[in-house]
Copies of this chain bind each other. A is one copy, B any other.
Amino acid sequence: MRERCNIGVDLGGTTVKLAIVDEEGHIQKKWEIPTDTADQGKRIVKDIAHSIEQTLDTIGKSSENINGIGIGAPGFIEMATGYIYEAVNIGWKEYPLKTALEEATEMPVVVDNDANIAAIGEMWKGAGNHHDNVICMTLGTGVGGGMIIDGDIVHGIKGMAGEFGHATVVPEGGYQCNCGKAGCLETVVSATGIRRTALDELRHHPESQLQQIYTNNNDITAKDVFDAARDQDTFAIVVVERVAYYIGLVLANLATTVNPSRIVLGGGVSKAGDVLLTPVNHYFRQYSIDLIYRHTDIAIAELGNDAGIIGAAWLAQTKI
């Protein structure tokens, strides 16, 4: 068997996603295992190694068909050594992931941040395809990001590059953020932030259809807000407009900094689609230099949950 594949691993707090990916970036086989976070996550690497071995057996491949393993992990990572300073959701602290996985699998391993591998996956096979300069912003429970410049991931000196969620957009009087600052983008445009903004102001808008949802469920979600805006609910439109304003402003300032050809929005919030993308584009245009605006477009991520495993495989293919 001459063709060589890479293994992409996307390690999350609940599940580990794995895939065998060919050199063209096509997924040959994908599967998941649960993330065993008990005992500070000490069985995770053994579980991954065992699962890879089993799967290769099942499909009749051996480690000789594999070029290497790329793995994306959450938390603060020293990229060069694949050392995890801390990954709170996993239970790891000062954990030598690269070395441990290499010993367990006897294959070469390369480690990166989970947001970065998702960005690189979109660049390789998704919405950033054929773009060498891409900004990916992930709008989920939190707001993360990854940045590709001249075809490669930007890490910065402590692996903190692309932390777009912590750009300050409300310099005074903003909500407190988990990062220790206040007024971060994440506090106002994450799913959590959108829900909070809407809840905080809902009592002033008894006419809104969100009021009915709140009465029924004793809560509202970011999705409720976008659905109501799509139904022309005035209050919901105001909330979405403000979310779009913050995203558009930050994207414009990012584009002024790195001049990408494409911006990819991913994560649950991006699934709102045009009801969000249209006003984001409006504010992006308003706050961008014309020459930058004309050569940058904003697209919704295409790979969904596969972005990480594909990006991790790219990492193995290009860095090993």
Contact = CB atoms under 8 A, between A and B. Distances in A.
Given A157-B260, A256-B167, A259-B158, A291 B249 contact: no
A177 to B, nearest CB: 9
B287 A157 contact: no
Contacts of A154: 149-150, 258
A259 B159 contact: yes
B249 A295 contact: no
Contact of A167 (B163, B253, B260, B290): B253
A255 to B, nearest CB: 8
Contacts of A249: 168, 171
A290 B154 CA distance: 20
Contact of A160 (B147, B150, B253, B259): B259
Copies in the assembly, this chain? 2
Contact of A158 (B156, B245, B291): B291
A66 B146 CA distance: 41
B259 A164 contact: no
Nearest to A152: B150
A301 to B, nearest CB: 19
Given A166-B256, A167-B253, A167-B256, A157 B261 contact: yes
A252 B260 CA distance: 20
